[in-house]
Structure 1
Amino acid sequence: MDNYTNYAHAELGLWLYQMKKPPSFTGRITHGIQSKINDWIPEKVHLAITTAIENMVKAVISGSSWIVPKPHESLSLKQREFKVRNRIKWYRNTASVEGAVTGAGGILLGFADFPAFLTIKMKMLFDIAALYGFDTKNYQERLFLLYIFQISFSTQSRRNDLIGLLENWESYRHDLPEDLGAFDWRTFQLDYRDYIDLAKLAQLVPIIGAGVGAIANYRLTEHLGKNAMNAYRLRILK
């Protein structure tokens, strides 16, 4: 095992520890408050938001106009991850600019940030999958992307639940939903919305929104990229 592979194993071990640690007291309190707020929201609103997010994500990952990256083969782990880090950097900077532009417009352009930022993050995951040698034309690989997305933007309790699925993907993949319509979109949108709301609420405020949007998108994209790297390491380093 070369030095870089040892380094990757060490990073993966630290990431697994972070995914499996119990929720903090603050995290439990915050989640409780968010759950209460969600209980107050009418069911019709939840259904509308769930449908909107489901349709947006499906359009990104299943649309006929989507150009699926070709899997990269015959690369060492070090070469793959050099390319992956560069792609994350590119998407991180792109998302930061997008957040600054939409944040500068206050609440109106702030709403436009939601689908734009979602598309940037999903496209990054497709590129990362290809760089690690996985073919996202395969339906199960697209589901894997959704679980990476969900574990990145969810509570610590949800991460505790999902990390076992990612660790044992080859065992779980055959029991997963047969199509995207059977995916748990309600939980997906609640986790994502609660996580993003805390990070990006101030982006809707004129003047300061540009700075908040740029920083939030930068950090959230980097966070997703790091999780994607380690999720694929789980499969490659085994």
Structure 2
Amino acid sequence: MDYEEKVRQELENWENSFYKTPGLLEKASKKVGDKINAIIPAKVQNTITETVKAIVRTTLFGAEYMPKRMVERSLTLEQADEQARQVISLYQKIAAAEGAGTGAGGILFNAVDFPALIAIKMKLLFELAHVYGYSTNVFSERIFILSLFQLTYSQNRKRSMMLNRFRDWNNEKLQWSSDAEYYKDLDWETFQKEYRDAIDFRKMLQLVPGIGAVAGAWANYSIVEELGGFAINGYRIRRLADNARYEQWE
């Protein structure tokens, strides 16, 4: 079995996992998210939504997350996957250190952790784009990065639809230009709630006295690992589609 065939099998298994019954962690996270949403005042909800908006705005229009790494256009898919795993491992360590520091600092420091963790994850996604040969100078690639972020924290029923967009990204990307329709049309409330629901259970442990530092490190490490796995598979889908298109031209 060649590497691309192996990847196709892994992608099929990965997609099939979306249709499995939610596990205990997912159910617990959803319950925690529902309870938190019920008690958080509207003013706080709005603040969180605005924070997410600001980070998305930076992703689309800023240079803050632009990696120093050059765009790797000559790597095979296998080589890109290997480099991607190395990059993810580095960012897991960075996120774990940040989570340990804020976890040890109590509730006020945990408030700082929310935007800091998203920033770490966005920097990771920008770097992975270059690993797989896609330049983040291109506006549609930034849309793809946000789509990967959204895919990771969406409910399973939305994921299949998003993956179909990834397979057809060469046509999908034609609709995205710098007029930022994506930014204006996104349902911000749903976006931030899905993200928060997906990580709440892990992050809540960070507030438990005595274990905050350890829990914060573990939460951030596992959250970045999860995002990295989704990103690898998202870019695998695109690379396989690109390779198939190039073979048709030859």
Q: TM-score with structure 1 length normalisation?
A: 0.86
| Superimposed CA distance per residue, residues 92-114 of structure 1 (whole angstroms, 9 cap, x where no aligned partner) | 11111111111111212111111
Q: Which residue is 2:140 aligned to?
A: 140
Correspondence 1:58 to 2:89: no
Residues 179-188 or 25-34, more deviating: 25-34
Contact kept, 8 Å, 1:22 with 1:160, in 2: the verdict is no
d(CA) in 2 for partners of 1:4 and 1:101? 40
d(CA) in 1 for partners of 2:101 and 2:31? 33
Correspondence 1:46 to 2:45: yes
Correspondence 1:5 to 2:25: no
| Superimposed CA distance per residue, residues 200-222 of structure 1 (whole angstroms, 9 cap, x where no aligned partner) | 11112232111111111111111
Query: SS in structure 1 opposite 2:150?
Result: helix
Q: Cα distance, 1:162 vs. partner?
A: 2.9
Contact kept, 8 Å, 1:103 with 1:206, in 2: the verdict is no
- CA-based RMSD of the aligned residues comes to 2.6
Q: 1:99 to 1:36 in 2, by over 3 A?
A: closer
d(CA) in 2 for partners of 1:200 and 1:33? 11
Q: Cα distance, 1:10 vs. partner?
A: 1.8
d(CA) in 2 for partners of 1:29 and 1:218? 19
Contact kept, 8 Å, 1:23 with 1:156, in 2: the verdict is no
Correspondence 1:227 to 2:199: no
Residues 63-72 or 120-129, more deviating: 63-72
Q: Which residue is 1:106 aligned to?
A: 106
Contact kept, 8 Å, 1:102 with 1:109, in 2: the verdict is yes
How many residues end up aligned between the 2 structures?
Answer: 236
Contact kept, 8 Å, 1:106 with 1:207, in 2: the verdict is no
Q: TM-score with structure 2 length normalisation?
A: 0.82
Q: 1:196 to 1:166 in 2, by over 3 A?
A: same
Q: 1:94 to 1:61 in 2, by over 3 A?
A: farther
d(CA) in 2 for partners of 1:219 and 1:29? 16
Q: Cα distance, 1:24 vs. partner?
A: 3.7
Q: Cα distance, 1:118 vs. partner?
A: 0.8
Contact kept, 8 Å, 2:58 with 2:64, in 1: the verdict is no
d(CA) in 2 for partners of 1:191 and 1:31? 9
d(CA) in 1 for partners of 2:53 and 2:44? 14
Q: Which residue is 1:79 aligned to?
A: 79
Query: SS in structure 1 opposite 2:137?
Result: coil
d(CA) in 2 for partners of 1:143 and 1:133? 16
Matched letter for residue 116 of structure 1? A
Q: 1:25 to 1:83 in 2, by over 3 A?
A: closer
Q: Cα distance, 1:161 vs. partner?
A: 4.3
Q: Cα distance, 1:82 vs. partner?
A: 1.3
Matched letter for residue 52 of structure 2? I
Q: Which residue is 1:124 aligned to?
A: 124
Residue identity over aligned pairs, in percent, reads 38
Q: Cα distance, 1:236 vs. partner?
A: 0.8
Q: 1:35 to 1:161 in 2, by over 3 A?
A: farther
Matched letter for residue 162 of structure 1? M
